[in-house]
Amino acid sequence: MELWVIATFLAAAVQTLRFSLQKRLKGLGLSTGGATFSRFLFAVPLAAGGALLLAQTGGHAIALPGPVFWAYAMSGGVAQIIATFCTVALFSERSFAVGIAFTKTETIQVAVFSALLLGEAVSPAGALAIVIGFAGVILLSRPPGGWRQGRVFNRATVLGLLAGGFFGLSAIGYRGATLEIDSVDALYRAAAALACVTAFQTVAMALWLLWREPGELGRVLRAWRATLPVGVTGVAGSYGWFIAFALQNAAYVRAVGQVELIFSILASMLFFREVPTRREVAGMALLGISILLIVLSR
């Protein structure tokens, strides 16, 4: 099995664990912003230390990346922050597994945006996949109390679709950033890009919280015993994604990463005792089928 596939599987598994931990943070009184910030805060020293260690052991020259790198890195970093915000907020609306399933509409959205914005034709199989995926989203979007008139696209649906879209944009940014690092060593390129992106995200999130949520930084730091594992799993999962992005096209990486759906269902049942309904299982199954068809049609 190729290294990028192994890295993607490990990243998806660790990311599921990290989202599980972040869902628990909401129960500790942290805001959505605070729970999101915890994912970056403690990851900075780990990411920087890993990049420096690889640089020293591999004899890589440490040089400041150019403007193109920062354009990719910062756009990807902002997109991931927004996507994480949406995902953490989504956990308050629906179960863990359904929340993660919503974010997996990312692959479907990429196909639609490619057709509308880039003029890339969608094959008949791709069009069928989009219809099947839309049916899955409709099933998942139904609130526990049923649909109200005019509320098919409720808050959970919007948050999930936004999360999926911004996760897709972040993948494109990170793939571009790793390609701008001047090294043939994919592991070092991944570590260097991750260190820069994580540092930027931490500064950006800290400034946001100081402006919009005074006092939340202190609450995150006081809850360090609970937030530290989020940072550790966050950087570990991100390193896996960055390795995969450094080695392979982001579309293929994200396609393989849909295995996270299976991990999230297991986590939902084991950690949160959330048993998905038949309708939700059917929705996730349709979503999985649509993703598979899109991959095959490409």
Please, what are the averages of pLDDT over each run of 10 residues along the chain (298 residues)?
A: 84 83 70 80 87 86 84 92 82 64 70 61 71 73 53 69 86 87 89 94 92 89 85 89 87 74 72 73 78 66
Q: Which pLDDT belongs to residue 11?
A: 92
Q: Which pLDDT belongs to residue 150?
A: 46
Per-residue tokens: 182: 């001047």
Q: Which pLDDT belongs to residue 4?
A: 84
Q: Which pLDDT belongs to residue 149?
A: 44
Per the CB < 8 A criterion, the answer to whether 87 and 231 are in contact is no
